[in-house]
Amino acid sequence: MGFKNWKISEEELDAQIAKAKASAKEADATEPRAKSVRFDQLSGLIVISLKNGAFFSFPPILVQGLGEAPPEALNDVWLDASGSSVHWDQLDVDLEIAGLIAGIFGTKVWMSELGRKGGQAISPAKAEASRNNGKKGGRPKKSLQQTA
């Protein structure tokens, strides 16, 4: 299984390499890059130190594939050479730093489910408000307002 018909000149190869290097340099200058990542067992957070001096942290429960992981597996984390992605080999989880910072913690289905669960949050204040509203007869009916 060779590439018999695949030929490229030295000049074209050099041009493609130069283009790739320029693209990587631009990405390094414009996209967030991490210099370190760790699981802080005391706070229960994944902590990412960015090259610009900022820190970003989040609870593993938000991330697809990390929620049920033991601390030992969460500690087995590493960054790629460019600092653009984070990896947990034991858990088979790989995420882009830019996506994490944007709040993307998994696939679209995972994020949809995460949002649905968040909308179902029940707090003591919400339960009390619901009970009080029920004592008053429930939610008021929407009335149509006429405009002149």
Q: Which amino acid is at 90?
A: Q
Please give the model's pTM, rounded to 2 decimal places: 0.64
Cα gap 131→121, rounded to integer Å: 16
What percentage of residues in the chain have a pLDDT greater than 70? Answer: 86
For the chain, what's the residue count? 148
Tell me the chain's radius of gyration from C-alpha atoms.
24
pLDDT at residue 116 in the model: 72
Domain boundaries, the chain: 28-118
Q: Which amino acid is at 129?
A: A
Cα gap 145→148, rounded to integer Å: 10
Q: What is the CATH architecture assignment of 28-118?
A: 2-Layer Sandwich (3.30)
Give the Å distances, CA to CA, from 97 to 21, 55, 100, 108.
Answer: 20, 12, 5, 17
pLDDT band (50, 70, 90) for residue 74: very high
Classify residue 62 by its DSSP letter. Answer: G
Pull the structure tokens for residue 87.
């990896």
Report pLDDT digits (tens) over 90-138: 999 999 999 999 888 887 887 788 777 666 657 677 777 777 877 777 7
pLDDT of 45 strictly over 80: yes
Tell me the sheet residues that pair with 86.
79, 95
pLDDT at residue 37 in the model: 97
Task: Using CA atoms of 60, 66, 68, 69 in order, give the dihedral in degrees to the nearest 10.
Answer: -100
Which residue has tokens 């994020």? 111
Strands 45-50 and 34-40: antiparallel
